[in-house]
A and B are shown apart, each in its own frame.
Chain A
Amino acid sequence: MHDMCLRDGMHAMRHQISLEQMVALATALDEAGVPLIEVTHGDGLGGASVNYGFPAESDEAYLRAVIPHMKNARISALLLPGIGTVEHLRMALDCGVHTIRVATHCTEADVSEQHITLARKLEMDTVGFLMMAHMLDAPSILAQARLMESYGANCIYCTDSAGYMLPDEVAEKLSVLRDGLKPETELGFHGHHNMAMGVANSLAAVDAGADRIDGSVAGLGAGAGNTPLEVFAAVLDRMGAVTGVDVFKLMDVGEDIVVPMMHQMVRIDRDSLILGYAGVYSSFLLHAKRAGEKHGVPSSKILVELGKRKTIGGQEDMIEDVALDLLKRQRKAAGSSA
């Protein structure tokens, strides 16, 4: 179980988590037995920007604050080639990051060669993270996964960035990866709860051979959040699985730490349901709400249009652009009917 509150959750917090909150939450997750915790800007190392949002503190400040407090848990960092570079990767290693997750759109694995090769050479736990996996069929995902494996990734993720996938699709994709990759290569699944499939999809992934499952306590993540980790842990407990995670402590973390710090309830509202339904990148949610408010265009329409244009992760700049296009259209329609 790999917690995302302090990375994917950064999206839901507009990247404004304080160092104290980071340390308190990470320490509590560590005490609850969560083995791996991700700490980075929502869009990965180097994500600090106008496009994705400037965080309260730098990646380096967060990592240096959290890592010394960890008793058992290890810390991971996310890196998207095109946004972050190998310099960021070296910085993360220097801070004591154990796991680096190199994320690309599911069809573009070959942009990760520089970063995966270096991470492996530096003997880091190296993960290839294929995003928006609903946009590509299983055999093609396998081909991309093999590229990452060939660069040196020891674990491959099937990432449902839009919260679009249903359990059958998760099972199919994970099975094809399991059969096609080296037996020693681990598999992971990262879900979003936009269609309330987080837990069901994660179970399907485990059944199909996944070794690592991402979630976040109280679902603190982009869109309607990630797979709620305390719920997933409780389900596994009931199924008789030994997870090493203390379900009651995890519930307390959610109730006492995560929920009180949320800026807004992370839940399946209309916009996040549209993300899942239309297959749109979950991190677009708050950006679309903001652009909608600024320009007087419904955020739901912006999200549907972003889906139509086949935008992918990282294209946050298209949100305001689409809002302005819709505004022009609205004005034209109003003008012609007047």
Chain B
Amino acid sequence: MAKTFTGIWGTFPYLDEAATVAKKLREEGRDYSVLTPCPRHELYDAMGQPQSRLPWVTLVFGGLGIFFGYALPIWTAYDWVLPVSQKPILGIPAFTIFAFELMVLLGGMSTAVSIFLFGHLALFRSRLPKSEKFKSYGRFSNDRFGIVVRCDESQASAVENLMNEHSAEEVVREF
């Protein structure tokens, strides 16, 4: 069975060194991923400030929320007209509350779902090692930064040297 990942991964105790490696890998045009216990702007800058398309999902669903928030009470107002003294049948200011609430509800829910959907979809494009060694390495959630480079064996030495030059604690080849 063909392996889904070939490449090299390294662990780093220092954020600045990991960021330098990420920056150099980007400048060399390599396909890489960064692992970190928490989001850091140093890594974000080193990776060239990649943008998420997630806000578009929020915008679309938030807009749908506004639409339904107005549409439901407007439709019900006309579906069974109940005139009360001289009050207008359509109470647009009152209906704005539903538009706001449904905007928040649909926008918020879609954002939450998209955070995980987008994150997992991105991993289909940029696969991480499947080896037991990588999976059982539990320190990316603790105090270590990681860099995974997808490359063939001919490029491994260059990447390995780059990582070692920048205080990599451990460098693992997976081919």
* Bound together: no
